[in-house]
Structure formats: structure tokens, C-alpha cells
Amino acid sequence: MAEEHLTAAQQAGLLQAAEEARKNAYAPYSHYQVGAALLTASGRIYTGCNIENASYGATICAERVAVAKAVSAGEKDFVALAVVADSTQPGSPCGICRQFLVEFAPQLLLIMGNLQGQVKVGRLDQYLPSAFNQEYLK
């Protein structure tokens, strides 16, 4: 889905939902709280926040929490994802999250923001070119 298919108001709404979700983050180690809001083709929004763990590998990012909630509710057709973090640059999905997202929506619209109001918009395939996907497993 291209950026022009989501209105400015829809993008702002997703960013607001991600910012609200960020408030629930559990980040006692990094103190880097992230919120995500995933818009599905059905129009539903699933939110997530990062959840850290003393065993760092068990930590789960906000983006994957939102996707897990959507998939567990039977949704697999994703339109856009907003990510908000308190950082100097708009929050961006990490490499693991990019790979996780490409499984469902290689051209997912990414709306990345920070608490200072900076926003960057792009498509997932721009941030993860030549992604490893199911085509490699045939």
C-alpha cells in the first residue's frame, strides 16, 4: 500500500495509538520505551509495546507484540504500522521486526515517529530490500 492511500488523519491516528501503547512498555533495562500500532485491512488497529526481560533474548519488541495480537485474532492482511519512541530520530523497526513483518506484508507502510513530533514514512521493502521470504524455501 502506498503512502497516498492513507490520509494524514489516519497516519496521525496510528501515531497517536502507538504513542499511547508506548506508555505500557516494560523497559527496566534499556529505558527505551516503544509503542506500535498496526492497521489491518479490516480496519482494526492492534497495538503493542516492548517488553524486556532480564534474559535479553527473551525481550519482545512492540512491533512483534502488535503483529502477534493481530494474528492471534485471525488477521494477517496488514496495511500500515506506526512506531513511536522517545529518541532523537523517529523510531524504526529493528532488523528482527523487519523480518517478522515482511512475512505478512512486504510493502507495509511504515510511519515512524518520536515524541518530538518528527515523522518519517516509507515502505518496509525499502527498509529490508531483498528480504528472505517463503520464495527461498520452495
Q: In the numeric block, which cell numbers belong to residue 84?
A: 513511536
Q: Count the neighbouring beta carbons within 10 Å of the beta carbon of residue 61.
A: 21
Task: For residue 75, indicate whether it is catalytic.
Answer: no
The DSSP string of 43-81 is: S-EEEEE-B--SSGGG-B-HHHHHHHHHHHTT---EEEE
Contact present, 84 and 74 (Cβ < 8 Å)? no
Q: Quote the DSSP letter at residue 137.
A: G
Contact present, 22 and 62 (Cβ < 8 Å)? yes
Choose, from 63, 75, 103, 135, the residue flagged as catalytic: 63
> Which residues are catalytic, by number?
63
